[in-house]
Amino acid sequence: MSKQFDLVVIGAGPGGYVAAIRAAQLGLSVACVDAAENAKGGPAPGGTCTNVGCIPSKALLQSSEHFEQANHHFAEHGIEVKGVSLKLDKLIGRKNEVVKQNNEGILYLFKKNKVTFFHGHAAFAGQVEGGWSINVTGKTEENLVARHVIVATGSAPRELPGVPFDEKIVLSNDGALSLDAVPGKLGVIGAGVIGLEMGSVWRRLGSAVTVLEAAPEFLAAADQQVAKEALKAFTKQGLDIQVGVQISEIKPSAKKVDISYKNAAGEEQKLTVDRLIVSIGRVPFTAGLNAPAVGLTLDERGFVAVDAECRTNLPNVWAVGDVVRGPMLAHKAEEEGVAVAERIAGQHGHVNFATIPWVIYTSPEIAWVGQTEQQLKKEGRAYKAGSFPFLANGRARALGDTTGFVKVLADAKTDEVLGVHIVGPVASELIAEAVTIMEFRGAAEDIARICHAHPTLSEAMKEAALAVDKRALNF
């Protein structure tokens, strides 16, 4: 017998589980279906973000940063530590425990909000009276009928042609999070978020890391002043980052990977590494949905085609997150999930793509929202820029972390904030103020007039806003 729901959400990643909870809060009967399994075969909701992405990578970044500090920076504080050693199994074990806590937290939230969870694969079976028929296959077989469906199946790592992931020698983000030994030499293809974060983790733990990037510029999506500062910092730390690279051949064997490539100058190069992380982007995951059978339209890149409100071509079928257009970011998926749940309930959900922040959790952290200086120049928009270095910030000096700066870009006439770019300590937290100001279409003057506690890193944001009108107080 079929089980009837107002809404069935396919996928329990950030977009899916948040959509399910919000819809339940609004009074809908909701089911969420997810196939991910933990090591014991139990449910592991949370999607890529919780299981092999945002959460475990941040756990490893934190652990590896402690290791780096103990080995290289405690002495600056008068703390002498001898004989620091690494127990990698315990470090990985802590990461796994953090993931488990998040999995269990989502299951608890489902129970609290009366969302029915099904552990298995969901596929469209067809349109029926009352909505859409969804088959769930797994340890139990179920048929669900839903008045509305949200597809939130996420994405998968993109493989290099002819170089499949074996997660032992050639690694995706999944394998990069679970190595059983620190590689002597580690190669990374792709200098994006995953490549830089995973490269940073294993460099801190002792690997010699080489990052190969095809693009001619480092972090082309970021403000180039920020990118240059970050590249300088990463190079000083020991990351070998090469841009403008053309890979000609990758030959994995049982214990190593041989890479042949041309550098930016066109010179032939060879690199042999013990492990290779491939982080060249992600592709939408729609396998198993049975999309062709029900006529669900995919675009030319394989994404589920949606309109501005995340509606697909099928009535009452929606899609959110990595499986649709837009940035592949967990918080973007969450915002879309909430917005769609509210639209289904008759409300007016809101997602502003112009104020979605970007973060890279390296050291220094990199975060930005809005337009870059190069984008403003390209569109010919008159703007003012103000920046303030953490070197002149009292809290940053006390922390012993003065790398980087905050940069504020504002309209030359109206003073409306058009973009904020940060490279430096806890940039991921500082960017929230900029997002808030921009969401309300505030001005640089608004940031400058807000009282910021002293001493805090947030004062660098205030000073950068003051610098837009050339009146910084501490630099």
Report the binding-site residues for NAD(+): 190-197, 213, 281
Q: Which of 287, 307, 290 is nearest to 125 (CA)?
A: 290
Task: Reply yes or no: is the peptide bond before residue 364 cis, omega within 30 of 0.
Answer: yes
Cα 153 to Cα 37, 51, 248, 253: the distances in Å are 15, 14, 33, 33
Binding residues: 58, 153-155, 190-197, 213, 281, 322, 328-331
Q: Which of 306, 473, 304, 468 is nearest to 386 (CA)?
A: 468
Q: Is 138 exposed, middle or buried (0-12, 13-18, 19+ CB in 10 A)?
A: middle
Tokens of 408: 């504020």
H, E, C per residue of 129-192: CCEEEEEEEECCCEEEEEEEEEECCCEEECCECCECCCCCCEECHHHHCCCCCCCCEEEEECCC
Catalytic residue flag (residue 454) = yes
Whole-number Å distance between alpha carbons of 323 and 149:
14
Helix (H, G, I), strand (E, B) or coil at 351: coil
Q: Are the CB atoms for 302 and 196 separated by under 8 Å?
A: no
Instruction: Give 224's strand partners.
Output: none
Catalytic choice (66, 73, 350, 454): 454
Whole-number Å distance between alpha carbons of 365 and 427:
5
| Phi, psi for 252 (deg, rounded to 5) | -80, 145
Q: Which of 252, 9, 351, 40 is nearest to 149 (CA)?
A: 9
Q: Are the CB atoms for 371 and 409 separated by under 8 Å?
A: yes
- Rg of the chain on CA atoms, in Å: 24
Whole-number Å distance between alpha carbons of 348 and 145:
25
Cα 421 to Cα 284, 351, 365, 373, 438: the distances in Å are 29, 21, 11, 10, 13
Whole-number Å distance between alpha carbons of 424 and 396:
9
The residue with tokens 């990698």 is 88
Q: Which of 406, 411, 413 is nearest to 432 (CA)?
A: 406
Binding residues for FAD: 58, 153-155, 322, 328-331
Active site residues: 454
